[in-house]
Structure 1
């Protein structure tokens, strides 16, 4: 018979877990949803919805092909290409499951959930590359993920939304806070590079030996990584608890979206639905915030949002896709050396441009789709929120994990990559500071990303302090 003390301990643990679950439930319920949630479909209907979700599912055939080519040790180029194509539909399925699950929460928590699970691909690829000592690929892919989200994804969101609205408005307070967090992350990346340049020999005098400088940069990176993780925790508390109201679409500083005048709509052939008969017409082209956009009600019955999968199927899909992504990403990383050995393509371009495009496929699809529906707050939460998560969570987490595993991964990035990141964040800050977006601003961001891609096609990524090459 168990003792009275054992029973008391079990009872205490049960109440502790019960309180944790209740707290998580309260967090979810505290973020109000835009519309009531309809009845969940059956498991059979959920599985059918998975197969019908996108034509990209035809690319799933590349999963077994990439695995076969890897195990029979055929061309590394084909393994990379097939693994690359296989991860695209997996990222889309991950976005589908995440978006369906986010229907159960409000836009703030939905944006956080989309950004978190959307970064699963980047996190998995980074961990695998870290274990295999591909530290240059780790650093380039993480910087590339931030650039892809800030320039390509956000730019396409502004451009697609700008085809339906002359201007789309969002909350200035939340955007300024996000800009401050991104600036902080850039400073954390630039300081180790500044430290390295400051201790360079001058007049033949070297203030630090190479070994001492390497140890100092590692220590700086580990300390800064811990601080960044703490800041990210504070950001979560701020966003989900203390100041969650500033991320609400109904906050007072949220700019209202402005439609094109009717003549412009006709010339551009923009497909607009007429406003509902019970809704008053927009005044001076400004949408009435009290009335929903008629196009958002398409496919809904009496304003009820209906999930396409039941919760159990959604969770299973997330787990299965994550496992498939992990295995396929390992084969992808293994093939990088063989792909770049010919000299036609560099590791820097693979890490900075190609891998982020695959990893950000989930955020890309989700953010662009909701931007077209004028849910620009959710779109920013996915695109910019994903960049913040990579900068304040993924990068310091990977550095800390490398610390634990004995891998010399630091925050000393390639100087050119650091400068490009700084200029990109500066550009985005200028674009979003007025709380409004249009299609030209989106085109500016996308063209800047294209310029960066062209530049890094020719740029050989370096290892400034020679630390990455010591990984074993």
Structure 2
């Protein structure tokens, strides 16, 4: 009964079967809308189950679980896309997922919590560790782009593609090792440093107005089963939604880059978005940061390297090469994040700043042409065009 009464959004669960049927019967636009609506209550239930587990394990582990289950959806979609040769879409969704979590999810969390509380505190050690790992992942993305910029006229296009693939695959393995090291650090060697702040900084509430202590509302096994079921349901709905996007793009007149970087991550991160905002509003900032920043870190250090390894196994040229504009956008985002969390406190203005940057990026990507985006495919075309121009000139 606790699951049924968890949220009034459960009434929207009726859209799940309609969304699945529409994939085979109705137009792509209807399929897109129905499956989008169906993901909303599932995202809320995912947050409900994660919070219930967090009451037993602590906010850090709860945030890790939410990020893992949330990113499993993106991982499934990315593997399906990669098997179909949609490398550009996979890379765009990976980059978009990181930007979405760091800017809109975390920004709205700071904003929602800041509108209720004047100032909120969180575990600065855990937050800065995640931010540092994100910076490391950004550096790994800068290396292939810098390598290309430095060697573009020094070797053939084919040799350059081979070198960047080699660099990307070696980097992917190292990033996976770094992620495993972080798991050991967080869950074993430095567990005490990951505990939430013992006292909350809430200026507008008197000490006697303490919130009621929350207790788990269902058995632990039931919470884990609920997480697995929701992840599967969201994965199916998301797959049908993605299958309808190509037709929706043609009808709405937007680019595939905008869809991959902006629209898809918003849908894919719906679970993290709802959970993080709900937790921030309840002043559970360690859990909110664990969901938002932890999810971005998992995408950068776990999901993206796994996609490179999977592409390697499928003999598909999936690399860590992003063009200069995309890597610059990611670099600016991580720098802003580090500035905002270095004091271990948040307020509504910081959330507004993160959200505003996301809107700015969304506007630029709306006008960003598909021809300018892409990984090794775009690199190859650019090299061929340069070669052709050189031949014509001579």
Report the TM-score when normalising by structure 2.
0.89
- Which of the pair has more CA radius of gyration? 1
Of the candidates 282, 291, 299, which is equivalent to residue 382 of structure 1? 291
CA distance in 2, matches of 1:176, 1:314: 30
Change (3 A) 1:214 1:458: same
Pairwise mapping of residues 189-204 of structure 1 onto structure 2 (< 5 A)?
A: 189-201=141-153
Count of aligned positions: 379
Q: In the alignment, what sits opposite 1:77?
A: 29
Correspondent of 2:175 among 207, 219, 228 = 228
- Cα distance in 2 for residues equivalent to 1:349 and 1:468: 20
Distance across 1 between alignment mates of 2:9 and 2:308: 34
Matched residues in 2 for 1:124 and 1:175: separation? 27
| 1:241 pairs with 2:188 | yes
Question: d(CA) in 1 for partners of 2:315 and 2:29?
Answer: 30
Equivalent residue for 1:22? none
1:92 aligned residue (44, 49, 57): 44
Quote the residue 1:323 is aligned against. 232
**Equivalent residues of 1:174, 1:247 under 8 A apart:** yes
Native 8 Å contact 1:124 1:329 kept in 2: no
Distance in 1 (CA, whole Å) between partners of 2:37 and 2:148 is: 39
RMSD: 2.3
2:271 aligned partner = 362
Moved more, 51-60 or 421-430: 51-60
1:59 counterpart residue number: 12
Partners of 1:133 and 1:341 in 2: how far apart? 20
Unaligned runs of 5+ in 2: 382-394
The whole-number CA distance in structure 2 between the counterparts of 1:196 and 1:436 is: 39
CA distance in 1, matches of 2:379, 2:147: 17
**Correspondent of 1:296 among 211, 218, 223:** 211
Contact 1:95–1:114, Cα closer than 8 Å, also in 2:
yes
For the 8 Å contact 1:129–1:333, the answer to whether it is kept is: no
Report the alpha carbon displacement of residue 425 of structure 1 after superposing the two structures with TM: 0.6
- Report what 2:54 is aligned to: 102
Deviation per residue, 1:317-352 (Å, 9 max, x gap): 223222222322222232232222347111111111
Moved over 6 A (4+): 467-470
1:19 maps to none
1:464, 1:117 → 2: CA distance? Answer: 27
Quote how far apart the aligned CAs of 1:176 are: 2.5
Residue pair 2:88, 2:375 contacting (<8 A) in 1 also: no
Cα-to-partner distance string for 1:36-86 (whole Å, 9 max, x where unaligned): xxxxxxxxxxxx3223222332332332223222223x4223222322222
Check whether the contact 1:226–1:396 (CA below 8 A) recurs between aligned residues: yes
Taking a change above 3 Å as real, the CA distance of residues 88 and 403 of structure 1, as seen in their structure-2 partners, is farther
User: Quick check: 148-157 or 457-466, which moved more?
Assistant: 457-466
Residue number in structure 1 paired with 2:319: 410
Q: Tell me, in whole angstroms, the C-alpha distance in 2 between the residues paired with 1:315 and 1:245.
A: 25
Superposed counterparts of 1:164-179, under 5 Å? 164-179=116-131
Per the alignment, in what secondary structure is the counterpart of residue 335 of structure 1? helix
Against the structure 1 CA distance between its residues 52 and 131, is the aligned structure 2 distance closer, same or farther, given a 3 Å change threshold? farther
Cα distance in 1 for partners of 2:8, 2:267 equals: 17
Aligned partners of 1:63 and 1:86 also within 8 Å: yes
Structure that is richer in helix per residue: 2
- d(CA) in 2 for partners of 1:423, 1:417: 10
Q: 1:259 offset after TM fit, Å? A: 0.5
Say which SS state the counterpart of residue 50 (structure 1) adopts: coil
Question: Which residue of the partner structure matches residue 349 of structure 1?
Answer: 258
Distance in 2 separating the partners of 1:428 and 1:213: 33
The answer (yes or no) to whether the contact 2:122–2:345 under 8 Å persists in 1 is: yes
Distance 1:137 1:345 in 2: 14
Q: Is the 8 A contact 1:402 1:409 kept in 2?
A: yes
Indicate the residue corresponding to 1:49 in structure 2: 2
Asked if residue 466 in structure 1 is aligned to residue 382 in structure 2, the reply is no
- How far the C-alpha of 1:427 sits from its partner, in A, is 0.8
